[in-house]
Amino acid sequence: MTTIVSFCYSITDKREERSIDNFIHYGKSLLKCNVPKVIFVDKLMYEKIADYENENTRILLSEKEDNYIYEYVDKVDQFHLNNPNVIKDTVDYMLLMAIKTEMVKKAAELNYFQTENFTWVDFGIKHMCNCNDNQFINKLEELNNKVYRGRVRIASIWNPMVDIRRFNIDIYKEVAWYFAGSIFGGNKEALLTFAERSKEMSINIIREKKSIMWEVNVWYLVYLQNRDLFDYYFCNHDNTIIDNY
């Protein structure tokens, strides 16, 4: 069995398709799936989804600012990305994405459902899946039958074996899709290691670059130093991100 872990935070995002109402609309499909789930929320979101808490779903109040990375927000004073999507890709958004591994760490340490595996799933992942609600719920429930030990099972779009110089991008300025970002999992030991390495890498980047970038870029840098920690599978931002897990 696995515990699905996610968060549902209110975050400044002016895009109409990513409004809070749309975010919750997509997330309700996740909330309805019949598998163990731990969902971290802030006060605003708790009021909107609290009714979905049940024997399979723990909804925990946990303000995002309580996480380690927000201690460093004042040091992020050289934040300049080579990306036109300035509405989405803000400092706040990058800091929020950075705590995915921390949320899994918290869920694994609490282990409310006494599962061996934990699987991070983005709360709004339904928006990239071309299927109806019942099909989507079935896909998530199938995750409960998949167990991984020793390494982090993680979605990959670019082949991590291909040197980043082939893509001609700056890892600190442009998104690198070696990892898809929306789903990863495994057993407690591997995920705690992943969380610690990601934390160390994020802090080092902030200290050295005075900036922060997409969590998938941070994970790729972690991968370069810890290749044996990762068990990646290929997918895209579509149904395959769950189907191939």
DSSP letters, 119-142, are EEE-TTGGGG--S-HHHHHHHHHH
pTM above 0.85, yes or no: yes
Is pLDDT of 160 > 60? Answer: yes
Asked whether the CA dihedral 23, 29, 32, 36 is positive or negative, the reply is: negative
SS3 assignment, position 215:
helix
Distances (CA, A) of 50 to 8, 46, 104, 207: 11, 5, 20, 38
194-223 b/e (C-beta count within 10 Å ≥ 16 → b): bbebbbebbbebbeeeebbbbbbbbbbbbb
Is pLDDT of 22 > 90? Answer: no
SS3 assignment, position 2:
strand
Integer Cα distance of 186 and 219 in angstroms: 15
Is pLDDT of 238 > 70? Answer: yes
Return the minimum-mean-pLDDT range out of 39-53, 72-86, 204-218: 72-86
How confident is the model over 193-216, as a mean pLDDT? 98
Integer Cα distance of 151 and 172 in angstroms: 26
Integer Cα distance of 102 and 32 in angstroms: 24
User: CATH number of the domain at 2-243, please?
Assistant: 3.90.550
Query: Can you state the angle between helices 91-98 and 100-110, rounded to 10 degrees?
Result: 30
Integer Cα distance of 23 and 201 in angstroms: 29
Is pLDDT of 18 > 90? Answer: no
Reported as a pLDDT band with limits 50, 70 and 90, residue 20 is confident
**What confidence score (pLDDT) does residue 12 get?**
46
Answer yes or no: are the C-beta atoms of 158 and 167 closer than 8 Å: yes
